[in-house]
Structure 1
Amino acid sequence: MVVHDGSLGATADALRDRGVRAIVAGTEIGVPLAEQLAHRLGLPGNHPRFSPRRRDKGAMAAALVKAGIDGPRSLATGRLTEALSWAGMQDWPDFVLKPGDSAGSDGVHFCSSPDEIRAAWKILHQIPNAMGGSNSHLILQERLRGTQYVVNSVSAPAGGRARHTFTEFWVDRRVGTHLYDRMDLLQPTQMLPRLLARYTARVLDALGISVGPAHTEVMYVPGRGPVLIECDACPEGSYDPAAMREVTGSDHIRDAVHAVITGTPDRLGAGRRRDFVTKVSLIATRDGALDEDRLRTLLALPTVRGYVGALAPGVAVSRTVDVLTSPGRVVLAADYAEDINEDYAAIRGLEASGLYGRTVR
């Protein structure tokens, strides 16, 4: 095992000694380091000069503007006065204030007035975020309204330009603004995934993602079309590779490694693809611990194929307020939508009847 201690040269030397052939960032926080190491070792990777486009949401939005791609109208600033002045000049009523380099729904605040922007700024500015950043600057954006989608992809150079292969398209359904509910896999031959693929390919090019994985979140705004929320140059998080291989024949993590090593972004498909696949995020309405009987019932539901999270009897859980506080995510797959929906309802019923019932003392 190689642990990075802050010295890029030492880490690169250790990897070289081990004959490493490819470097893929596992999470958002590792993207700049992975790109620097790949560049130093002469391995395939996205150029580190443009790493900020792939981590900072302000630089990301600016790259889209430069490329003529529709993106969220944004301001990146470290000054509240500038944020308030910019907001006052816009012609839309609602805004999103969030960290520049965090992930998920960490620190995301929806604001509809100067007072709400001030209050959210006071909470966020100069505090640590979930990805280890300091929130020295924040991103103020228009609030997009529509249906949210997730697009997973892998890329590799081909003929002097990047070739992007799209591995999964998901429609993201939520409860309110921050609680993840379920994500349903879309068939890639449908019209909407094709539209999302065309838009996302342009985004990937603008952000300089030519090698490896990307996890892109897009809002489809009625009357406007796809608009980027954010794009991460790494595999999707909260992901069960074994379950995804079973139900789709491939998985984002394996596909990403394959693309970087071989230079071929094609999906590694084998086996039967299920017609319906859903990822259900568990939602704890209170602090507690997982009840053994109800958990056993949940994991034995007919369409359950896998899960992510510490789902074991007695494990403590906190009340779910966002994706980072969900107890876990369960993968369901079936040949009929009715079977998926029946087990989804059963999961929510188990939660309501005491899945998190035992109070932690």
Structure 2
Amino acid sequence: MTIVALVDPLSSGQMYPPLLAEHGIDVLVITTPRGVAATHQKNASSRGCAHQGGLILPSMERADITSLVHSLFRLGVRHIIAGSEAGVPVALLLQTAVADTRAPIPSQTSSVLFDKAALAHRLSDRGVPALHSRELHSKAEGLAFVSTVDFAQDSLVLKPSIGAGSIGVARVTSIAQAGEHLSTLFDAEDAFGTPVTCVLAQEYFAGTEYVVDTVSFDGVHSIANVCAYQKVLSADGLFVYSRLDWLEQSAPPARLVIDHARLVLDALGRENGCSHLEIMVRAGQPRLIDFGARAHGAMHPAKTFELTGSSQIHREVSRIANGTVPPDGYALARCGRIVFFHRLRDGTVGETVDSEKFLTIPSVFSIDLGLSPGSFVARTTDLNSSLRLGLCFLTAENEAELDRDEMRVRRVFDSFFAQD
């Protein structure tokens, strides 16, 4: 009997158990402190772990990790999957441990796959074109650094070195704004309940943002999809998701970011498992802006499956179950778009919320709405606050239909709020 250990299956991680069960594979859920914290912070935007029970890792202390590894040995677990960004560090550590049962159990793993500062150093060391970055380990160090920046010519992006999505990520255009955001970050916890001890300052690289989702086997990278993001910038410099479009693999922008994604994956030593890469392109020059050693979140792979007949998760499961060699690329059967809901100012939901109104719009495939009648909704500040409002998945024969119906979707969403 094959058993797969799934670490912190939040969001898209919930796709694994039923897909593995179709192949007669049992799933052992492992819950870590990071996973518990992430579930708490996501609140209504996360459905929690896929199964109750399983194993719980109470801490990252060596004794607890050793006990967990011994449990996996007894059960014969040989496949470890990160079910979310929260589960990445433990999944990577466990993958190392079960790969060679004779080797000493590691107490930690390489951080280049989940620490943005370590990742930036690795890309620079390997000669991969990357964003200019600077680690800041205190507010005082941060203020000293930003005082040297000519904000009349440049702006910066400040982000927690360890985080998820756009949580805590802001563009700053003045020393005062930078100081305020540094205070916010260093006085807070990251997305996983740990105090922020390192902030990464990076050049603001304006351009078009793309996402490349892959799954790798023995160093060979299978491209599951390429998408283009559109974000809006709030009044206080925070990045808010607006929409995402799937691109044909043959499109020139897709080919460019796929080539860059392969360079990044090789530089990071990502040989096995799903990866999620966010790449900005300006004047034909790609730069990695975020990386996850796990599948794309927000149930994105399920939507990719509807458009292509496959996804990075489906390919990973097929490889584990049958040893199937995944295809190198993908083909879109229809155009697809995710419309992310957001509010650029505070508002109150009216007395009636009827999600069925969305389903009368021709391109709407599915709707996930998180509004309650009469509730107060604060302005959207990051991915989690956007996902709490919900999103809408559209499919159509062409982009013009998507544009038309996106406007209809947003009008319906806005109609649920009391007039200002």
What's the CA shift for 1:269?
Answer: 9.3
Distance 2:418 2:329 in 1: 41
Question: Counterpart of 1:345?
Answer: 407
Distance 1:274 1:316 in 2: 39
Distance 1:208 1:306 in 2: 37
Matched, 1:67 2:113: no
SS in 2 for 1:140: strand
Question: Counterpart of 2:83?
Answer: 26
Kindly provide the amino acid, as one letter, of the partner of residue 250 in structure 1. Answer: S
Structure 2's unaligned 5+ residue stretches are 1-53, 101-105
CA distance 1:298–1:317, change in 2 (3 Å):
farther
Matched, 1:3 2:56: yes
Kindly provide the amino acid, as one letter, of the partner of residue 365 in structure 2. Answer: R
Deviations along 1:191-214, one digit per CA (max 9) or x if unpaired, are: 221111111111111122111011
Matched, 1:247 2:307: yes
Equivalent pairs counted in the alignment come to 348
Distance 1:87 1:275 in 2: 46
Q: Say which of 199, 203, 219 aligns to 2:280.
A: 219
CA distance 1:358–1:37, change in 2 (3 Å):
farther
What's the CA shift for 1:283?
Answer: 1.9
SS in 1 for 2:306: helix
Distance 1:113 1:107 in 2: 17
Distance 2:135 2:401 in 1: 45
Question: Counterpart of 1:276?
Answer: 335
Question: Counterpart of 1:58?
Answer: 117
Q: Which moved more, 1:199-208 or 1:72-81?
A: 72-81
Partners of 2:120 and 2:133 within 8 A in 1: yes
Partners of 1:179 and 1:321 within 8 A in 2: yes
Deviations along 1:160-211, one digit per CA (max 9) or x if unpaired, are: xx11111111110122252211111110011221111111111111122111
What's the CA shift for 1:10?
Answer: 2.4
CA distance 1:241–1:196, change in 2 (3 Å):
closer
Partners of 1:290 and 1:317 within 8 A in 2: no
Structure 1 consecutive aligned stretches of length 4 or more whose deviation exceeds 6 Å: none
Matched, 1:334 2:396: yes
Partners of 1:99 and 1:129 within 8 A in 2: yes
Kindly provide the amino acid, as one letter, of the partner of residue 205 in structure 1. Answer: D
Question: Counterpart of 1:322?
Answer: 382
Q: Which moved more, 1:251-260 or 1:19-28?
A: 251-260
Q: Say which of 209, 230, 235 aligns to 1:173.
A: 230
Partners of 2:222 and 2:329 within 8 A in 1: no
| TM-score (norm. length: structure 1) | 0.86
Deviations along 1:113-144, one digit per CA (max 9) or x if unpaired, are: 33332222111114212232311111111111
CA distance 1:94–1:121, change in 2 (3 Å):
same
Distance 1:209 1:267 in 2: 18
SS in 2 for 1:9: helix
Distance 2:325 2:204 in 1: 34
Q: Which moved more, 1:92-101 or 1:34-43?
A: 34-43
Structure 1's unaligned 5+ residue stretches are none
Counterparts of residues 119-158 of structure 1 (less than 5 Å): 119-157=180-218
Distance 1:254 1:358 in 2: 44
Partners of 2:248 and 2:332 within 8 A in 1: no
Matched, 1:42 2:95: no
Matched, 1:304 2:364: yes
> % of aligned pairs identical?
27
SS in 2 for 1:193: helix
CA distance 1:48–1:213, change in 2 (3 Å):
farther
Partners of 2:214 and 2:223 within 8 A in 1: yes
Partners of 1:154 and 1:256 within 8 A in 2: yes
CA distance 1:95–1:260, change in 2 (3 Å):
farther
CA distance 1:310–1:260, change in 2 (3 Å):
farther
Question: Counterpart of 2:4?
Answer: none
Distance 1:48 1:219 in 2: 35
Partners of 1:216 and 1:232 within 8 A in 2: yes
Question: Counterpart of 2:16?
Answer: none
Distance 2:372 2:178 in 1: 42
SS in 2 for 1:183: strand
Distance 2:216 2:322 in 1: 11
Distance 1:330 1:19 in 2: 41
SS in 2 for 1:226: strand
Q: Which moved more, 1:104-113 or 1:52-61?
A: 104-113
Kindly provide the amino acid, as one letter, of the partner of residue 260 in structure 2. Answer: Y
